[in-house]
Structure 1
Amino acid sequence: MSDKKRDERIAIMLALLSQRGELQVRFLPKSLGVSGATVRRDLAVMEEAGLVRRTYGKITATRRCAELPVSLRHSQNTEAKRRIGALVSSLIPSRPLVVALSGGSTVRFVAKSLAARPGLTVVTNGLDTAASLMVRQLVQVVVTGGTARSLSNDLVGKETEKRLRSYHFDYAVVGADGVSPEAGFTRHSKRGADIDRIMLEQADRKMIVADSSKLGRVRQAKIADIGAVHTLVTDSQASAAMIAALRKVGVMTTTVVVPVSGSDRGRGR
């Protein structure tokens, strides 16, 4: 069984837990369409990641939100994220620039596409983002410092905020967990949203990347109002009505084409 399918099941269980508070383990195989042995393996992964607690045939969430650790998000919607990353890279001119990149699995693909750009300075609070940029040793990478947030492998806190405010960025590229014409751009984590907001505020050009599974969703922490961002890049699995609504309120929304057979409708940022 692939990691992709496992992560889909974990996301479903976390979503159910956020609604119901607890789940009976004996009902999970039928609900998920897999064997009891597969469910036990999934639950072991979730326990190791600190997502759930098992007691007397039940599981309960250890956190109040349904946010997946970034290690489990990397296998979700990978083709959409790869194409989003390539397109965003093409929208950033090939000349010396200072760019802010957030953490998150979608922004990681932006970083991979930018890694071959000499003359580029990238400031990031994302540890995975920084690692992806450093592979080719061409981009000057500045890591903000701060307190590590284990769910997302990014840095947050006052030190991070202070460092970001010392820069002026030509471009900022930030991921989002939720995109709504009414609620704006949102994240699971308030501390993460605060950092993303500062990145956008310090930039001339503000870009959000979010695969289509995030559109229409609203999370607990506001990054920015919908009109505060210049460009949203998503994928072709987004509904035409949602794209039209976003464009109507002034967001330049660009979609990358992702074949249906290659789509992976996950929840990871």
Structure 2
Amino acid sequence: MSEAARDARISVILALLAQRGELQVRYLPGLLGVSGPTVRRDLAVMEETGLIRRSYGRIAAARRSPELPVSLRRSQNTEAKRRIGGLACSLMPARPLTVALSGGSTVGFVAGLLAGRADLAVVTNGLDTATTLASRQLVEVVVTGGTARALSNDLVGKSAERMLRTYQFDFAVVGTDGISPVAGFTQHSSSGARITRTMLEQAKQRIVVADSSKLGRVHSVKVTDPHAVDTVVTDSHAPTEMVAALRRIGLNVIVVAIPSVARPAMRPAV
């Protein structure tokens, strides 16, 4: 089984836990349409990453947040994220630029492509983003201070926000957890949302990169209103009505083509 399929099952398990509070392990193979050993491997990963607690044949969520650790998000929708990253990079002209990049799995693909440019100064709070950018030793990389947030492997807090406010960026490229024409841009984490908001406020051109799974979702913490972003780059699996609604309120939504792939259906919960 691929990591992407495993992470999809983990997302389903977390969603069921959010609804029910706890689950009996013996029912999971039937709900997920996989074997018992596969479920046991998935649960071992979830336990190791601090997502669940196990007790007497039952599991419960170890924390309230439904946010997946970035280590699991990296293998989800990778082709979409790769193409989104490429399109976002094409929007930045070939001249010296100062760019803000957030953390996150989709922004990681942007960072990988920008790492080959010697005309950039990039400020980031993402530890993985910084590592990717520094790999070829061409980009000037500045990392904010702050407190490390384990789920996303990025830096947050007042010191990170103050540092970002000392810059004026040509571009900010950030990720988000939810995009809605009514609720705007939202995230799971209040500390992460403040960093994203600050990057957008300090930039002349503001780009949100988000695969199609983020469109239509609304999470607990608002980042900003739709008019505070110039461009959203997403993929062609996004609902056409949602893309149309975002465009009607003035957002420039760019959709990259992704081949349709048949996905195995999870059995519905009963």
- Under a length normalisation based on structure 2, what TM-score does the superposition of the two structures give? 0.96
- Partner Cα distance (2:230, 2:74) in 1: 26
Instruction: Give the 5 Å matches for 1:69-148.
Output: 69-148=69-148
Match of 1:171 in 2: 171
Instruction: Give the 5 Å matches for 1:1-269.
Output: 1-261=1-261
Shifted more, 101-110 versus 20-29: the winner is 20-29
* Deviations 1:205-257 (CA, angstroms, capped at 9, x unpaired): 11111000010000111111111100000000011111110000010000110
- Partner Cα distance (1:63, 1:259) in 2: 36
Alignment gaps of 5+ in structure 1: none
8 Å contact from structure 1 (residues 79, 262) kept in 2: no
8 Å contact from structure 1 (residues 76, 264) kept in 2: no
- Partner Cα distance (2:30, 2:256) in 1: 35
- Partner Cα distance (2:80, 2:209) in 1: 11
- State the AA in 2 paired with 1:194: R
Give the CA deviation at 1:262.
Answer: 8.4
- More contact order relative to length (CA 8 Å, sep ≥ 6): 1
Give the CA deviation at 1:264.
Answer: 11
Q: Could you say if the C-alpha distance between residues 208 and 155 of structure 1 is closer, same or farther in structure 2, counting changes exceeding 3 Å?
A: same
* Deviations 1:17-65 (CA, angstroms, capped at 9, x unpaired): 1111111111100000111111111101000000000112111111112
DSSP-derived class of the 2:200 partner: helix
Give the CA deviation at 1:16.
Answer: 1.1
8 Å contact from structure 1 (residues 194, 223) kept in 2: yes
Give the CA deviation at 1:261.
Answer: 2.4
Give the CA deviation at 1:120.
Answer: 0.3
Q: Could you say if the C-alpha distance between residues 129 and 45 of structure 1 is closer, same or farther in structure 2, counting changes exceeding 3 Å?
A: same
% identical equivalent positions: 66
DSSP-derived class of the 1:155 partner: strand
DSSP-derived class of the 1:14 partner: helix
- State the AA in 2 paired with 1:75: S
- Partner Cα distance (1:263, 1:134) in 2: 36
Alignment gaps of 5+ in structure 2: 266-270
8 Å contact from structure 1 (residues 79, 263) kept in 2: no
- Partner Cα distance (2:172, 2:228) in 1: 12
- State the AA in 2 paired with 1:71: S
- Partner Cα distance (2:185, 2:19) in 1: 22
- State the AA in 2 paired with 1:23: L
Aligned length: 265
- Partner Cα distance (1:132, 1:87) in 2: 18
